[in-house]
A = this chain, B = another copy of it.
Amino acid sequence: MSSQLTLANIRRQLVRLEETIIFALIERAQFCRNPKVYEKGAFPEGCGHESLVGFLLHETEKIHAQMRRYTSPDEHPFFRDLPEPVLLPLRYEHNPLHPNTVNINDRIRDAYEQDIVPLICRDGDDQQYGSSAVCDVALLQSLSKRIHYGKFVAESKFRSHPETYNSLIRAADDTGLLQALTDQEVESQVLKRVERKATLYCAELRNAGGDHDHPVDPQAVVAVYANWIVPCTKLVQVQYLRQRLPDARRSVDPK
């Protein structure tokens, strides 16, 4: 099996991404919620019909696409109208995933703007729009990467128990798939580890900065994992497996 698909290696990547996400949440929580940056058309002079965050995300993806970011199987863009890479393609050892079109970034962006930001930031508007939006883009990119890593998890699990998954996929049994994919023990370990890390990092920060910094609440970080990251990762797994069989490809909407 490709080394990218051993569960130990996948888990190591997911654990490593926890720091990236927790650090990014802490960075965003420095600023107020600033709802204006998510409002479409709020800055017509620069961002047209997009929101400020949408504009910055789009512009950032255009540059990153040129640097071939989205040729990597673990990266998924939020926008579709991106330029071609200007760097020569990297030869990935071998993309271990089955061809698929799964991309739930629209859902991630909605959840982020509507639920996650209000959870981690103080209410209000501090006018730090650019700084907030720069943090938002970094966070959206990390969340997307973490959540779409579900494809590797699903592929690995599929290869370990092809019979089980084959029959569930053929029966289009999403509930059965979800049950087969769920490992309650591992999920609760993830949440405990995230809580421990978030507590550690936030305490250090509070300690150094006093009360003025409004560091993010560790329980809010756990909630981001429990309510959005874990369920969205499972959604990616189910959607991926639904496209996993050779003959299932025909039903994939090619748009």
Chain A residues bordering chain B, tally (CB within 8 A): 47
Interface members, chain A 205-245 (any B CB < 8 Å): 205, 208-210, 212-213
Nearest chain B residue, comparing its CB with the CB of A59 = B63
For the complex, is A166 an interface residue (Cβ under 8 Å from B)?
Answer: no
Are A197 and B204 in contact (CB-based, < 8 A)? yes
Are A19 and B205 in contact (CB-based, < 8 A)? yes
For the complex, is A158 an interface residue (Cβ under 8 Å from B)?
Answer: no
Are A130 and B26 in contact (CB-based, < 8 A)? no
For the complex, is A69 an interface residue (Cβ under 8 Å from B)?
Answer: yes
For the complex, is A45 an interface residue (Cβ under 8 Å from B)?
Answer: yes
Rounded to whole Å, the gap between the CB of A95 and the closest CB of chain B is 15
State in angstroms the CA–CA spacing of A132 and B85 once bound together.
Answer: 16
| Chain A window 19-44, contacts with chain B (Cβ cutoff 8 Å), 1 for yes, 0 for no | 11001001100100000000000010
Are A67 and B193 in contact (CB-based, < 8 A)? no
Which chain B positions have C-beta within 8 A of A18? Answer: 208
Interface residues of A (CB under 8 A from B): 12, 15-16, 18-20, 23, 26-27, 30, 43, 45-47, 52, 56, 59-60, 63-64, 66-69, 85-88, 90, 127, 129-131, 133-134, 138, 193, 197, 200-201, 204-205, 208-210, 212-213
